[in-house]
Amino acid sequence: MPKVHDRGGWPTDEPIERGEHELADWERRVDSLHMVLGEKGVRSTDEMRRAIENLEPCVYESLSYYERWTAALEYLMIEKGILTAEEIDRKMADLASASH
Amino acid sequence: MAQSAKYRTGDRVRVRVGAPPHHFRTPSYIQGKTGQVVALCGVFPNPESLAHGGSGVPRQPLYRVEFFQTQVWGRYRGTQWDKILVDIYEYWLDPAEA
């Protein structure tokens, strides 16, 4: 059984979305963060691909393009010991409370 | 190029079948299919190593291989001349009979 990304030839009745869409600010920031981490040699393109491909299939299907990038970056930062899940969760909670 | 390429343009090759636990870049739909080398794209750091924090050495030849669509998909509805091009690393290929 191929992994979730290896989907060439999978049957579907859904049309292919060929349109462009306007990027949200957070998507641009994820792209920038991704680029900076690459320039600093923290992560490689192939590591990102592995991290995205290793997402649980139900998670992979439910996330948008840059949400997958975000999940993959989080996975790699934790794997490399640069951040802990607790640090990320704490920061997210701080941001959530600051916005209220 | 440091590493000599095993195949030449026009060689018939068969794609290996496998699903190693690590990252790999040979789509499942093309595995086991026979095609023809149309170009050597270059010799690149091995992505199966890079994806796991490795150095990518030794670098690996990457080929552009063409396949007839009718031989890739069981119920292909296009013409019998339609082809699909896939870039495949050398260690995923075996020689095939002409």
What is the percent of chain A with per-residue pLDDT over 90, rounded to a whole number? 82
DSSP result, B75-87: T--S-TT-EEEEE
Task: Please give the tally of structural domains in chain B.
Answer: 1
- Domain membership flag for residue B38: yes
Q: What 3-state DSSP class applies to A94? A: helix
Report the pLDDT value the prediction gives residue A21, as an integer from 0 to 100: 86
* Mean pLDDT of the region A75-92: 96
Q: What is the pLDDT of residue B1?
A: 45
Please state whether the peptide bond connecting residue B47 to the residue before it is cis, i.e. omega within 30 degrees of 0: no
Identity of the residue in A8, A47, A50 whose CB atom sits nearest the CB atom of B27: A8
Which domains, from first to last, does chain A contain? 26-98 (1.10.472.20)
CB–CB contact B51 A49 (8 Å): yes
Q: What average pLDDT does range A5-22 have in this prediction?
A: 89
The answer for residues whose C-beta is within 8 angstroms of residue A78's C-beta and 6 or more apart is: A84, A85, A88
* Banded model confidence at residue B3, pLDDT cuts 50, 70, 90: low
Q: Which of B45, B3, B46, B1 is nearest to B22 (CA)?
A: B46
pLDDT category at B39 given cuts 50, 70, 90 is very high
Q: Is residue B4 part of a domain?
A: no
In a domain, B42, yes or no: yes
Report the pLDDT averaged over residues A24-40: 97
| Residue B63 placed within a domain | yes
Bridging pattern class, strands B93-95 and B12-15:
antiparallel
Chain B positions in Cβ-Cβ contact with residue A49 (cut-off 8 Å): 23, 47, 51
Distance to chain B for A87, nearest Cα, Å: 23
Does some domain include residue B5?
no
Q: What is the pLDDT of residue A11?
A: 87
Q: How far is A98 from chain B (nearest CA, A)?
A: 37
Contact assignment for B51 to A8 by CB distance below 8 Å: no
The reported pTM is 0.89
For residue B23, list chain A residues with Cβ-Cβ distance below 8 A: 46, 49-50, 53
- Model confidence at A90, pLDDT cuts 50, 70, 90, reads very high
Structure confidence at residue B52 (pLDDT): 96
